[in-house]
Amino acid sequence: MNQMEKPEQFDIDALRRKVSETAAVSPPPGDETDINPLAKQIAAQFREENYSPSIITGQLRLLEFLSLFAIGLAVHYLLADDPSSRFLTDLVIGLLGSGFAVLLLQIADGYQVSVLRTPLRSMGRIATSWTVATAMIALALFLFRDGGFGFRDWLVYWYGAGIAFLFIERSLVGFGIRRWARNGIMERRAVVVGGGKPAKDLIRALEQQPENDIRICGIFDDRGSTRSPDVVAGYPKLGTIAELVEFARLTHIDMLIIALPLSAEARILQLLRMLWVLPVDIRLAAHSNSLRFRPRSYSHVGAVPMLDILDKPIRDWDSVAKRGFDIFFSLVALVLLWPVFIATAIAVKTTSKGPVFFIQKRHGFNNEVINVLKFRSMYTEMSDPTARLAVTRGDPRVTPVGRFIRKTSIDELPQIFNVLRGDLSLVGPRPHAVMAQTHDRLYAEVVEGYFARHRVKPGVTGWAQINGWRGEVDNDDKIKFRTAYDLFYIENWSLLFDLKILFLTPFRLLNTENAY
């Protein structure tokens, strides 16, 4: 994004660079900032995850494509004397026609939430899209196929059944979306950062939008009640910015909207240094600013413009694709590695007293605490669930079998069950124990911005591990480099990147220099 038209008072790209390069101040685990009872009560109301509009509209595209295609095949079987005749031709026509219809509906903005919410107003564009798609198929048959008129009855019946389906289906979808909006199931939950008149103007502007899908959950501001009232436009101030970080970890928030003037760049940067560790979209309200940026710098809620500062990583369909990737390759790993699981379980059980598995509390997505499975590699009476004492070379707490499975990372294999359960991903920043530390300092105290690695699910393997950053953390540089590699992964994520890391992992594990 480029500079704006007038004075160079505010540079979005420069601000993003400053945020990513500077420290994120966040309370370390075990020392979270407590939030007040009202904030806890509101956080509990929004604990459950809501439906993403992008996911809903994507599923609707697939539903309409498959339904129109199925209707075309059904018409073929009802009309044809010999259903096997022309089957392949009707199959291809059905696929093309259904695909054209969905494409035209997309071009006509037929999948915008505002359109789906009011189906009666949008029936014209729906009927037009389906009509044009069918007409294109009819024209193609007439021009390029001998006997194209033989498809007339099939096309007419398919067109009629298809348009009836779309009218009924869109009416039901509209009813469902309106109901979800009333019940808070399909909405974007937002917190306003900053109070006073800017926050009031922002909230009033949002409330005036007829198709507003933003639910304001509260306001957070460091200023006292004399400068920032306790209630703004009917919404309570729930605490300070430090308390917002904890609030966002307790609830499912989609967006933080900073209600400050662009001229307050230093204050905005200060806020972002604290807030960028959270897995949410961060927007800067721009409705009251006279400066105008290029259109791609903005997102809009109705007609209210917002500057896109930071985006939630791995969102919507990317998260669906990553979850499918995890499930598929986890099942493949179980099929291929079940003999290793059984052999390791027998070896652990028969060579030392205690359970086969070791459960350790570690930090997961959004800094939540999860229980991670491992094959037990230490003597039971010497195990350290808190990981305050890192395992060192020749550590007497490690069993002979444990020494081998730690070097080969076989002890990590049970985490595949964590992946299937949804606590972990196959690829991501490695989850660290809650009390993990180096030189009597927690990792979060060593690396400012450490919690930013929790903006995505942790992984069984990761970019840092295949680059040699595994094993004992006996100095500050090791955890700093690990965190740097983790943040690089988050900013550059793709399924191909995940596949590359997964493919390289077995080969890089052959280097056991730092694993003991």
Which H or E run contains 363?
strand 357-363
| CB-count burial class (<10 Å; 0-12, 13-18, 19+) for 119 | buried
> Contacts by 207-211 with C-beta closer than 8 Å and gap 24+?
207/233, 208/302, 209/301, 209/302, 209/303, 209/304, 210/302, 211/113, 211/114, 211/117, 211/302
Per-residue pLDDT, 330: 95
| Interhelix angle 37-45/241-250, nearest 10 degrees | 40
Class in CATH terms, 12-47+187-312:
alpha beta
Neighbours of 224 (CB within 10 A): 8
Of 235, 234, 253, which is closest to residue 244 (Cα–Cα)? 253
d(CA 32, CA 168): 51
d(CA 92, CA 415): 44
> Residue 35 contacts by C-beta under 8 Å, 6 or more apart in sequence?
43, 238, 239, 243, 246, 247, 250
d(CA 220, CA 218): 7
Per-residue pLDDT, 181: 73
Per-residue pLDDT, 25: 47
d(CA 145, CA 135): 15
Per-residue pLDDT, 474: 64
Per-residue pLDDT, 168: 93
pLDDT tens digits along 473-513:
667 777 888 888 898 999 899 999 999 999 998 887 766 55
Answer whether 424's CB lies under 8 Å from 458's CB.
yes
Low-confidence ranges of the chain (pLDDT < 70): 1-33, 80-86, 143-150, 184, 211, 287-298, 302, 386-390, 392, 437-441, 471-474, 510-516
Per-residue pLDDT, 7: 35
Per-residue pLDDT, 2: 42
Task: For the chain, count helices (H), then strands (E).
Answer: 17, 14
Neighbours of 507 (CB within 10 A): 9
Answer whether 462's CB lies under 8 Å from 490's CB.
no
> What letter represents residue 34's amino acid?
D
Question: For the chain, percent helix, then strand, then coil, each to nearest 5?
Answer: 55, 15, 35
Per-residue pLDDT, 148: 46
Q: Where in the chain is the domain with CATH 3.40.50.20?
A: 12-47+187-312
CA distances to 295, 389, 477 from 439, rounded to whole Å, are 49, 10, 12
d(CA 380, CA 358): 9
d(CA 53, CA 26): 30
Local structure of 215: helix, strand or coil: strand
Per-residue pLDDT, 445: 72
